[in-house]
Amino acid sequence: MSREPGTSREQEGEGPPATAVEAARWIRSAAVDDARGRHWRANPDPRGRAAMPDHPLSLYSGAAGIVVFFLELAAATGDESYLDDAVAGARYLAATWREQADLSLHHGLAGVMFALAETGWATGEHAFETEAGEIGDHIVRAARSIDGAPGWTGDPAQRGDGGIVLGLLHAAGILGVPAYQEVAVEAGARIAALVVPGHRFGEGACADLPLDAVTPGFLSGTAGTAFLLARLYGLTGEGAFLGAARRGADFVRAVSTVTERCALVPHHLPQGRDLHYLGFCSGSAGVARMFYELYRVAGDAADLDWVERLARGVVRSGAPARRTGGYWDSACQCCGTAGLLELFVGLWAVTGRPDHLEFARTLGESLTGRVTRHDGRGARWYQVYRRLRPWEVTADTGYMVGAAGIGAALLHLDATAHPERAGRLILPPDNPFPAIPVPGATLRRS
């Protein structure tokens, strides 16, 4: 059916903000309220199976990530009912975090601390900041001595100690607790002493990898650890952090495939040298964050050039239309289209280059074009979360794995079109791009 003259996709409910609102409706259909507050089922489909059912509080797939999405949606739409959703979820986090043993950023308490601190910031409710501080104190107390320095898991990657350090750095700033940064810096110093930060020889990054695999990617590998060390250099000015970040970056450069000013990163070595993920967790979108963070804190144009090489590799791959071994039927922030969208929105904010914004819009159109609303319960994305299990098709609600994160990415895209009302986005601590996704020159003109 043709569109009526003078109407837009946004007005017909097909554009990024309308789709984000519909995603919120899907998430609301998964709400579970009790005396402790509100959380959300990972997959509210009748007889539906969730991709990540075991982390109900987490930033990755649980309540903390959904709280962040509702905070952003309230700010983007002016509809305070979404703020009510966020507050109800934050109350649940505040009431239940002591039952959580995992301390990590994406799956554990460091992510819950992030969501509570941001809720306190957005609402002015001091109780949430207090609970975030309680979590921060708990994480600090839980540190153990590893090679004479504080640590928690012994894993330097962002899935382990690296992510916990990033969470403490965010909390130190937003809550005003310098002691969190002091512990984070001490823990980071141990990580910086590793020959190539992020290597985990003999311990596979996940059950699907060989035990001797080395992962250069972001969430479980070298690039994410180098990102952390660059962040610590930016905060402290200590050359040891920059040197260690450079060692990680040099390793990633050395193992990447470079052709015609494009770069692609292997998923794992040595077995997966020709498997190139494009997404956040193990591919180009995540590795680009590391190189941009290095550029941001050290100012070397060669690092920004590598961000551009990685972005060019994504475009040349044929995404989003073409599916490959490293870009399959996944829409989410972790390994799919939404993670690529975050990269290109960030690059637009950094460089102001129209081609980055145009490709971001192409990615956004892909997401809005593949949405499902078949039962009137809102927008969701059916996807294959795990590449090696193509028979598992799910439509999750969470941030990194489902509708909340896809909706947030669409809100970030929409913000690029409205510099006159640009506001602060709520970006996780591992996103180095500007919190206002509009180039400075455009902001000044508006």
Q: Which residue is associated with the tokens 């996807």?
A: 383
Give the 3-state secondary structure of residue 412: helix
Q: Is 271 exposed, middle or buried (0-12, 13-18, 19+ CB in 10 A)?
A: middle
CA angle at 93 for the pair 90 and 98, rounded to the nearest 5°? 155
Whole-structure pTM over 0.85, yes or no? yes
CA angle at 334 for the pair 176 and 181, rounded to the nearest 5°? 20
Q: Is 224 exposed, middle or buried (0-12, 13-18, 19+ CB in 10 A)?
A: buried
From CA 177, how far away is CA 370, in angstroms rounded? 44
From CA 359, how far away is CA 190, in angstroms rounded? 40
Contact yes or no for 223/197 (Cβ under 8 A) = no
Sequential DSSP letters for 12-28: TT-SHHHHHHHHHHHHH
Residues in a beta bridge with 383:
394
The one-character DSSP state at 214 is B
From CA 231, how far away is CA 252, in angstroms rounded? 17
Output the tens digit of pLDDT for each of the chain's 446 residues. 233 333 333 434 568 999 999 999 999 999 999 999 999 999 988 777 777 777 899 999 999 999 999 999 999 999 999 999 999 999 999 999 999 999 999 999 999 999 999 999 999 999 999 999 999 999 999 999 999 999 999 999 999 999 999 999 999 999 999 999 999 999 999 999 988 766 654 344 455 677 778 899 999 899 999 999 999 999 999 999 999 999 999 999 999 999 989 999 999 888 889 999 999 999 999 999 999 999 999 999 999 999 999 999 999 999 999 999 999 999 999 999 999 999 999 999 999 999 999 999 999 999 999 999 888 889 999 999 888 888 888 899 999 999 999 999 999 999 999 998 888 999 999 999 999 999 988 888 87
Amino acid residing at 298: A
Amino acid residing at 167: G
Give the 3-state secondary structure of residue 39: strand
* Cis, bond preceding 354 (omega within 30 deg of 0): no
From CA 65, how far away is CA 167, in angstroms rounded? 14
